């Protein structure tokens, strides 16, 4: 029997990242170049005119230029050195120090379009000592090229007074999906996805030229050309995904990397799953553009209480519920009886993650066990229903809400997660929902998305929808105003390849470029295409209570089921986009040898085109084999003693 579950907004809030044991700090290489003036060359070597320019005659002071015809007698010097000097000046050399009359003659030489004398540059490599954490937090990057303005401000081009134009075309508006694809593929604006891993938006760089990743965990050991991870990572006990991202943005290696990949006059754009006010302050100081809604707005909309109230205001139905504050069991019973909810209840606090703040209550004893968490605070109390949870991502644009595919949620399976109701993955396949229910769910998300626009929201978000398996009703579960774990599938669908990935519309919304799209037409086409596609992924956690040091771990890349039924590694790969059938899988390793695993730690993420959840609600035999096979590739040493165990930090978002 399906049960009502909560899809978390993040991974375990108590997780911490265990940094790898490095043998020593990696030096930061500051790139510098000192340019010296080239020594004067002979007239023959210096004057290399472009096609159509005047040609210098060997040994001739006139150099065949029209300057001699201009009557400049001073150019006809008698000495050999004067002839070479004069010839170089007439050829347009800006580095030659000629006399006053020779400089006048140079104006004629410039009209002759003679090639300038080349200057040689001697590169210099310096090794800089890594700054302290305090210095990193307070000072602008010393490794960023170019003039710095104020507190780390990057010198930019003069602001445009007219409409933004697109490349060399001079167009001021993108008028269709074809032009949007071309713009994304040719734009040199750098966009950096910052996170514990590159998982959520991995593969988006196939469409977006300037898109790359900055991650704490390097799943490819430096082999991915678009993934950057700092070499020097001292031990830090992270408490949240926000702390990981803020550490990365402050890091001197990261700042130097962003500076290197940012063209002059451009402002780097930052995307994250988790961020807070500190993230906003860091980006403002470093002159990075955080292309996400304000944290204060996201925090308010993240509340399950606020989401329910907004949905009610536009007629988006929620599971029968009451928003209330109670002090004890007796008061809860009185409130739920008046609302007609009965005593088989689901209680949620305003904020929560990984299913840890969703409680199932049927008796006073069960309530007593959670009383400290749910009394004296505003809670959402729902009637418990048999349901089928569905995840749907969308983007709110200036033209309306574009909705992605409907996906089931893999939640609470003991083989994957130790947390009851904890999110562990998603699946998309043709009969996720019947045609009527799918259309109703998409309409619900569009209506909610358009309403969010009145709150000042724009961009990417995810909605959990609950299908009542007894009545067929479609209800709002909750809103996650961010990129989610489901994005890994959303951006690889047939609709994404027919047009552009869903997240591309988020980038457009924050690009400053005017564009024109038919939202109704895109939604109709994507709804049809989604019914023919199939993708699944699952997050594999360490489920036992032991703390173990990892001695060997499976590599990131492509795996296949061989002729003997074994899952074997075939080769490294950058993402899962080229998987073609259910016998293939892509595994993204998170923790590597030398790291530790503990209860709730994310070992890695497996993506496949196979079906992972059976009709009876449990995992398929194929899914269970994949999990066991991946776990079997780890070699670990169990740690003994009463020392404090590491706590997990989010390695992906939901």
Round to whole Å and give the CA distance between 517 and 513. Answer: 13
Residue 335 domain flag: yes
Round to whole Å and give the CA distance between 43 and 46. Answer: 5
Handedness of CA 263, 267, 270, 275 (dihedral sign): positive
Q: Give which of 425, 654, 615 is closest to 2, Cα–Cα.
A: 615
Give 159 or 369, the one with higher predicted confidence.
Answer: 369
Written as six digits, the tokens of 127 are 């090794």
Task: List all residues 6 or more positions away from 523 whose beta carbon is below 8 Å from its beta carbon.
Answer: 402, 403, 442, 446
Residue where one domain finishes, among candidates 294, 311, 344? 294
**pLDDT higher than 60, residue 156:** no
pLDDT band at 391 (very low <50, low <70, confident <90, very high): very high
Do 174 and 281 share a structural domain?
yes
Are 612 and 427 in contact by the 8 Å Cβ rule? The answer is yes
As a whole-number percent, the residues of the chain with pLDDT over 70 amount to: 71
The 10s digit of each residue's pLDDT in 507-530 is 999 999 999 999 999 999 888 877
Domain that holds residue 165: 131-294
What CA–CA distances, in Å, run from 301 to 200, 296, 309, 358, 648? Answer: 21, 9, 10, 18, 26
Residue 564 domain flag: no
Do 106 and 137 share a structural domain?
no
What pLDDT score was predicted for residue 653? 53
Lowest-confidence range among 51-60, 157-166, 212-221, 401-410? 51-60
Which H or E run includes 452?
helix 435-453
> Which of 8-22, 107-121, 342-356, 492-506 has the largest mean confidence?
492-506
Residue 540 domain flag: no
Task: List all residues 6 or more positions away from 563 whose beta carbon is below 8 Å from its beta carbon.
Answer: none
Do 342 and 201 share a structural domain?
no
Rg of the chain in Å (alpha carbons): 31
**pLDDT higher than 80, residue 324:** yes
pLDDT band at 155 (very low <50, low <70, confident <90, very high): low
Mean pLDDT confidence for 90-102: 39
Do 230 and 138 share a structural domain?
yes
Handedness of CA 174, 179, 180, 183 (dihedral sign): negative
Mean pLDDT confidence for 298-313: 95
Residue where one domain finishes, among candidates 111, 142, 176? 111
Q: Give which of 352, 201, 176, 355 is closest to 270, Cα–Cα.
A: 201
Residue 166 domain flag: yes
DSSP state of 213: E
The whole-chain average pLDDT of the chain stands at: 79
Q: Long-range contacts of range 408-411, CB-CB < 8 Å, 24 or more positions apart?
A: 408/432, 408/613, 409/5, 409/7, 409/464, 410/536, 410/538, 410/612, 410/613, 410/619, 411/5, 411/7, 411/355
- Residue 192: phi, psi to the nearest 5? -115, 120
**pLDDT higher than 70, residue 438:** yes
Do 238 and 155 share a structural domain?
yes
Written as six digits, the tokens of 71 are 């009557």
Do 94 and 165 share a structural domain?
no
Three-state DSSP at 109 gives: helix
Three-state DSSP at 539 gives: strand
**pLDDT higher than 90, residue 456:** yes
Residue 405 domain flag: no
Are 399 and 374 in contact by the 8 Å Cβ rule? The answer is no
Do 153 and 81 share a structural domain?
no
Round to whole Å and give the CA distance between 219 and 211. Answer: 18
Residue where one domain finishes, among candidates 357, 383, 409? 383
> Checking phi first, is residue 132 left (phi over 0); if not, alpha (psi -120 to 50) or beta?
beta
Task: List all residues 6 or more positions away from 454 whose beta carbon is below 8 Å from its beta carbon.
Answer: none
Mean pLDDT confidence for 405-411: 92
pLDDT band at 645 (very low <50, low <70, confident <90, very high): low
pLDDT band at 45 (very low <50, low <70, confident <90, very high): very low
Give 653 or 607, the one with higher predicted confidence.
Answer: 607
136: how many CB neighbours lie within 10 A of its CB? 17
What pLDDT score was predicted for residue 650? 52
**pLDDT higher than 90, residue 450:** yes
DSSP state of 206: G
Do 99 and 135 share a structural domain?
no
DSSP state of 204: G
β-strand pairing of 459-468 with 345-349 = unpaired
Do 142 and 82 share a structural domain?
no
DSSP state of 341: -
What CA–CA distances, in Å, run from 226 to 2, 263, 266, 284, 572? Answer: 41, 16, 19, 24, 15
> Checking phi first, is residue 565 left (phi over 0); if not, alpha (psi -120 to 50) or beta?
left
What pLDDT score was predicted for residue 492? 84
What CA–CA distances, in Å, run from 461 to 265, 392, 500, 624? Answer: 31, 9, 17, 31
Give 526 or 144, the one with higher predicted confidence.
Answer: 526
What pLDDT score was predicted for residue 168? 56
What pLDDT score was predicted for residue 142? 33
What pLDDT score was predicted for residue 629? 97
Residue 359 domain flag: yes
pLDDT band at 57 (very low <50, low <70, confident <90, very high): very low
What pLDDT score was predicted for residue 493? 83
The 10s digit of each residue's pLDDT in 463-478 is 999 999 999 999 999 9
pLDDT band at 642 (very low <50, low <70, confident <90, very high): low
Residue 62 domain flag: yes
**pLDDT higher than 70, residue 117:** no
Give 311 or 130, the one with higher predicted confidence.
Answer: 311
Task: List all residues 6 or more positions away from 390 whose beta carbon is below 8 Å from its beta carbon.
Answer: 406, 407, 408, 409, 432, 433, 441, 464, 465, 466, 467
**pLDDT higher than 50, residue 46:** no
The 10s digit of each residue's pLDDT in 202-226 is 999 999 999 999 999 999 999 999 9
Round to whole Å and give the CA distance between 465 and 391. Answer: 6
Do 258 and 141 share a structural domain?
yes
Do 263 and 152 share a structural domain?
yes
Are 157 and 183 in contact by the 8 Å Cβ rule? The answer is no
Residue 98 domain flag: yes
What pLDDT score was predicted for residue 494? 78
CATH of the domain at 348: 3.30.1490.20
Which H or E run includes 185?
helix 177-186
Give 630 or 485, the one with higher predicted confidence.
Answer: 630
CA within 13 Å, CB half, 469:
15
β-strand pairing of 121-128 with 153-154 = unpaired
What pLDDT score was predicted for residue 122? 37
DSSP state of 201: T
What pLDDT score was predicted for residue 640? 81
Round to the nearest angstrom and report the end-to-end CA distance of the chain.
24
Written as six digits, the tokens of 420 are 């009851």
- The tally of domains found in the chain comes to 3
pLDDT band at 430 (very low <50, low <70, confident <90, very high): confident
Do 289 and 339 share a structural domain?
no
> Which of 20-24, 355-359, 575-579 has the largest mean confidence?
575-579
Mean pLDDT confidence for 106-114: 39
């Amino acid at each position: 029997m399906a049960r009502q579950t909560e899809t978390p907004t993040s991974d375990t809030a108590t997780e911490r990242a265990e940094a790898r044991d490095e043998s020593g700090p990696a030096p930061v290489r500051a790139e510098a170049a000192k340019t010296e003036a080239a020594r004067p060359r002979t007239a023959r070597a210096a004057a290399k005119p472009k096609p159509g320019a005047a040609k210098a005659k060997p040994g001739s002071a006139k150099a065949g230029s029209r300057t001699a015809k201009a009557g400049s007698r001073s150019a006809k010097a008698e000495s050999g050195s004067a002839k070479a000097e004069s010839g170089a000046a007439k050829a347009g050399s800006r580095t030659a120090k000629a006399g006053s009359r020779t400089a006048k003659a140079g104006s004629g030489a410039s009209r002759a379009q003679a090639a300038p004398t080349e200057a040689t540059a001697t590169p210099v490599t310096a090794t800089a000592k890594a700054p302290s954490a305090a210095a990193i937090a307070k000072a602008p990057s010393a490794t960023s090229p170019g003039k710095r303005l104020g507190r780390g401000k990057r010198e930019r081009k003069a602001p445009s007074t007219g409409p933004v134009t697109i490349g060399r075309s001079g167009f001021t508006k993108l008028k269709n999906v074809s032009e949007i694809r071309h713009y994304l593929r040719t734009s040199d604006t750098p966009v950096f996805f910052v996170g514990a891993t590159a998982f959520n938006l991995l593969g988006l760089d196939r469409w977006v030229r300037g898109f790359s990743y900055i991650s704490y965990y390097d799943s490819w050991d430096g082999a991915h050309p678009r993934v950057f991870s700092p070499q020097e990572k001292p031990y830090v006990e992270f408490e949240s995904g926000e702390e990981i991202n803020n550490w990365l943005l402050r890091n001197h290696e990261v700042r130097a990397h962003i500076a290197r990949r940012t063209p002059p006059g451009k402002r780097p754009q930052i995307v994250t799953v988790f961020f807070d006010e500190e993230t906003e302050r860091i980006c403002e100081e470093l002159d990075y553009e955080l292309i996400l809604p304000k944290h204060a707005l996201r925090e308010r909309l993240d509340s399950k209480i606020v989401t329910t109230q907004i949905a009610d205001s536009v007629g988006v139905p929620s599971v029968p519920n009451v928003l209330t504050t109670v002090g004890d069991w007796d008061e809860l019973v009185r409130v739920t009886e008046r609302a007609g909810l009965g005593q088989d209840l689901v209680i949620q606090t305003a904020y929560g993650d990984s299913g840890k703040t969703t409680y199932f209550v049927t008796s006073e004893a069960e309530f007593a066990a959670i009383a400290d968490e749910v009394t004296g605070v505003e809670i959402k109390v729902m009637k418990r229903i048999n349901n089928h949870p569905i995840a749907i991502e969308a983007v709110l644009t200036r033209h309306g809400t574009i909705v992605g595919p409907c996906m089931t949620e893999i939640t609470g399976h003991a083989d994957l997660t130790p947390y009851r109701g904890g999110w562990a993955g998603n699946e998309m396949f043709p009969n996720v929902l019947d045609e009527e229910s799918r259309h109703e769910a998409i309409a619900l998300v569009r209506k909610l998305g358009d309403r969010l626009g009145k709150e000042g929201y724009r961009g990417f978000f995810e909605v959990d929808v609950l299908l009542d398996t007894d009545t067929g009703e479609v209800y709002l579960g909750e809103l996650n105003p961010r990129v989610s774990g489901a994005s890994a599938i959303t951006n690889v669908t047939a609709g994404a390849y027919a047009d552009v990935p869903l997240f591309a519309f988020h980038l457009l919304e924050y690009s400053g470029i005017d564009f024109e799209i038919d939202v109704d037409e895109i939604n109709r086409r994507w709804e049809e295409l989604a019914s023919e596609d199939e993708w699944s992924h699952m997050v594999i956690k360490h489920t036992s209570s032991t703390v173990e040091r990892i001695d060997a771990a499976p590599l990131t890349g492509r795996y296949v089921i061989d002729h003997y039924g074994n899952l074997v590694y075939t080769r490294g790969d950058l993402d899962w986009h080229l998987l073609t059938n259910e016998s293939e899988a892509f595994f993204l390793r998170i923790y590597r040898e030398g790291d530790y695993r503990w209860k709730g730690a994310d070992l890695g993420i497996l993506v496949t085109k196979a079906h992972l959840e059976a009709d009876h609600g449990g995992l398929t035999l194929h899914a269970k084999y994949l999990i066991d096979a991946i776990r079997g590739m780890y070699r670990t040493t169990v740690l003994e003693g009463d020392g404090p165990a590491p706590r997990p930090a989010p390695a992906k978002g939901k």
